[in-house]
A and B are shown apart, each in its own frame.
Chain A
Amino acid sequence: MTPFLDLLDIDLAYPPRRVVEDLSLRMSCAGIGCLLGPSGCGKTTLLRAIAGFEPVRRGSIRLEGVELSRPDWSLPPERRRIGMMFQDLALFPHLTVTDNIAFGLRNWTAEERRARVRDLLRLIGLEDLAKRYPHQISGGQQQRVALARALAPRPRLLLLDEPFSSLDVTLREGLAREVRAILLQEGTGGLLVSHDQFEAFAFADEIGVLDEGRLLQWDSAYNLYHRPVDRFVANFIGQGVLLVGRVGEGGSVDTELGRIHGEPPAGCAPGALVEVLVRPDDVVHDDASPLRAEIVERVFRGAEFLYTLKLSSGARLLCLTPSHHNHAPGQCIGIRLDIDHLVVFRRGDDDGRGHKVPV
């Protein structure tokens, strides 16, 4: 089966700076994906290349098997049938909500156009504001109009360039989920660019983590959190610490907190020093445990406490407990590890880009 979206070995550059290097990405079906990364990692440039606004220096971009971009050739954006939602929304200030949505329906018959606009207005729940101008409606309403405008010509793929970043956090996740539902209903593939992992989790089935122009991992949110392929991903997604350990016999690692079973990285002989990723939810508060740690800091989060603990070696650890486990800083509590799969990085191995993971 031809993949839905296929990026093969592409390079993108704003000469003389290379922005994206040797990047390959495949979305097998018209699902919903997200490119996640810190600012300046090249994710927006990548999105603009898929839309056809940036040329590729190397490699190719295909959508449903049809080539869109290769070096020295690019299908113009207006012929790609790829919609885009912009960070600043870019609504046309001189057109009403209705005319904005109908902007891309030039070649439709008047009747089809009216019907499509009406359906979309109902979908986004703004039928009452059809005659308003963009500056007369609220920020969240403008987002919905921008979405409807991009969806109107039935694009095969919708690209979203951080369109929710101007909203406050609570509204943001809600709208991300709402847009997701609309995309699924329309049967349109979606690709979001974001620097906010919670927005990505709320929106996408598959998430790619980018750093400095390279795609580090393309995977489900669960796997990014529990099976990060390198330190950058481990650090960027979720919280956690790296605990020093020594590779033991028969697929296990010995740490200050006891022996953890699992596969150490290939080529690590028994006795080699490694670091184990420990998430806050891997550390369980257990008064019966002989392992003790001192509470350094306590943050109340409603349903739970996030404790920062100090082990006898001085290493720090994060621990998540239900919120009725209330202990004052300075107290010692019993803990045990509950890790069902081991994530281990070689000691002293940085991730090749100079990112030192704080321990």
Chain B
Amino acid sequence: MLPVFSVVAVALQPAGEVWRHLAATVLTDYVINTLLLMLGVGAGALLIGVPAAWLTSIHDFPGRRIFEWALLLPMAMPAYIIAYTYTGLLDFAGPVQTLLRETFDWTRHDYWFPQVRSLPGAIVMLALVLYPYVYLLARTAFLDQSATVTEVSRSLGAGPWRRFFTVGLPLARPSLIAGVSLVQMEALADYGTVQYFGVNTFTTGIFRVWFGMGDSTAAAQLATLLLMFVFVLLVLERVSRRQARFHHAGGRHYRPPRLVLRGYAGGLAVAACLIPLLFGFLLPAGVLATWAARTAPRVVDERFLQLVTNSLLLALGAALLALLLALLLGYGQRLRPHPLVRLAVRGAGMGYAVPGTVIAIGVMLPFAAIDRTVDGWAREWLGISTGLLLSGTLIAVIFAYCARFLAVALHSVDAGLTRIRPSMDDAARSLGVTPRAVLWRVHIPILRGSLLTALLLVFVDVLKELPATLILRPFNFNTLAVRAYELAADERLADSASFALAIVLAGVGPVILLSRAIGRARPGYDPVP
């Protein structure tokens, strides 16, 4: 929570010159662009995610089993990376436009082609990789809907379309709102895409003020405005999640036979699922692979390996630390349900909603202040300069990662802990096992899966993270994400592909893990063979 407090505290300082300048010129742009981005990405994610979820959860059509999990794959694709690939593919010199020109013998002014690097472009890019959040929650909601509700509406004469609009969709509404809120939070946090596309939003604004104008107060003020957007979404998400629980009709679950779609309808269903998968993952991944194959011999050298090691070690360190903190908090909550512990858990859970840019500034400001104080003190009393102890070191980077991704670890650990009922501790003890042995023989084996999941999820999130790393990384320290961003910013898209592909490949693992988990945890799924 420290980063959020410090940002808000700094932002409360009187507005400076830069702020007045911002307010007079670009602030309106920031607000409008950010709002448009949020709304557009939310709508796009709904449009892709809901039909896909409706089709795969209660219908059957060719490839349905594969689509069920493959539709999650775009989650592995960071938005800034998909933005690079489509730019490379669709801009004036790219293969698509070149092919068009050659085929029809056109020249530059003969045809109209949509500009990828624009606000609509950014919306499409973000929607393509963020829709899985909506898909996931909508799918769970559709699967949870009691089969009898569907059957009642059928017996009352409602056809499939009417059932979707009058029963399925309204019942799933809280889950859909929660999903869209998550998507919009991610869209707000995005820096890489909008920056690359030259769209002015809050995150790019914060960067510009921070680096370009060196005004930390104005940056904090912008960050606070951004936080207000996030806060609204957070409240929206929490409220609708709670409603989603109440909306859950309960009763006995059994799976009604899936509605089989054949011929024309089946083809449409396949298309509705294939298009997001194709454009959200297969095509960009393919493009990256092609580029990487071409440039890898040149790019993959000792420095590349150094970057990989850097990234892996950093991600692993942050993941282990986050896991440790999550375990402490989780166990604390289980053993001593103290209000303070609960508050800490709640606070840690919010970190995920705070954009990386804001976290970075929130970490930088207090750490820099501490450094200045310590340095001044050391100079005065010891006659030496301690320099930067915290800010500008890996400590700051790892701290920021933990602040942002602790929630992810906490969620997994919590889910694991709730599976260990207190009676299991008692059962073990009544079988002659001491409390410490209970930890080793019961808790850790049961938790193992959750701990690994938590570790992996944080690991990959850190690997993908861009804005916080950009702001906080020590001088001359680089990661895969940063390098991919730098190369792309230099218009060396093909060269950045190897770095990007490494990140995407690392991200595919957890997505498969996630899809396996939802495959297993189906309500009404009868484990008895």
Contacts and interface: CB of A to CB of B under 8 A. Distances in A.
Interface of A: 48, 51-53, 76-84, 86-88, 90, 92-95, 103-104, 106, 135-138, 149-150, 152-153
A81 to B, nearest CB: 8
B344 interface: no
B431 A150 contact: yes
B432 A153 contact: yes
Interface residues of B, number: 21
Contacts of B528: 136-138
Contacts of A87: 423
A135 B426 contact: no
Interface in B234-252: none
B421 A149 contact: no
A86 B423 contact: yes
A103 B428 contact: yes
Interface of B: 419, 421, 423-424, 426-434, 441-442, 445-446, 448, 527-529
A78 B421 CA distance: 18
Nearest to B438: A78
Contacts of A153: 431-432
B258 to A, nearest CB: 24
A137 B445 CA distance: 21
Contact of A90 (B426, B432, B448, B527): B426
A152 B433 CA distance: 14
A90 B429 contact: no
Given A88-B421, A136-B527, A77 B430 contact: yes
B426 A84 contact: yes
Contact of A104 (B433, B446, B448): B433
A190 B427 CA distance: 16
Contacts of A152: 431
B432 A106 contact: yes
Contact of B431 (A103, A135, A136): A103
Given A90-B421, A92-B442, A136-B527, A104 B432 contact: yes
26 contacts: A51-B430, A52-B429, A52-B430, A76-B434, A77-B430, A78-B430, A78-B431, A78-B433, A83-B430, A83-B431, A88-B421, A90-B421, A92-B442, A93-B446, A103-B428, A104-B431, A104-B433, A106-B433, A135-B527, A136-B528, A136-B529, A137-B528, A149-B427, A150-B431, A153-B431, A153-B432
A143 B79 CA distance: 51
Nearest to B430: A84
Given A94-B446, A136-B527, A88 B423 contact: yes
A86 B429 contact: no
Contact of B424 (A53, A78, A90): A90
Contacts of B429: 52-53, 76-78
Nearest to A135: B527
A79 B426 CA distance: 13
Contacts of B427: 84, 86, 90, 92, 149
A144 to B, nearest CB: 15
A77 B426 contact: yes
- Going nearest first, the 7 A-B pairs with the smallest beta carbon separation are A104-B431, A90-B423, A90-B427, A84-B430, A77-B429, A86-B423, A90-B424
Contacts of A103: 428, 431, 433, 441
Nearest to B528: A138
A79 B431 CA distance: 9
B449 to A, nearest CB: 9
B446 A78 contact: no
Nearest to A132: B529
A150 B419 CA distance: 21
Contacts of B433: 78, 103-104, 106
Given A135-B527, A136-B527, A136-B529, A93 B430 contact: no
A246 to B, nearest CB: 54
Given A78-B431, A90-B427, A103-B441, 19 more contacts: A53-B426, A78-B429, A78-B433, A84-B427, A84-B430, A86-B427, A88-B421, A92-B442, A93-B446, A94-B446, A95-B445, A103-B431, A104-B432, A106-B433, A136-B528, A138-B528, A150-B431, A153-B431, A153-B432
Nearest to A81: B432
A83 B429 CA distance: 9
Contacts of B441: 103
A149 B419 CA distance: 20
Contacts of B445: 94-95
Contact of B432 (A51, A79, A138): A79
Nearest to A159: B430
Contacts of B430: 51-52, 77-78, 80, 82-84, 150
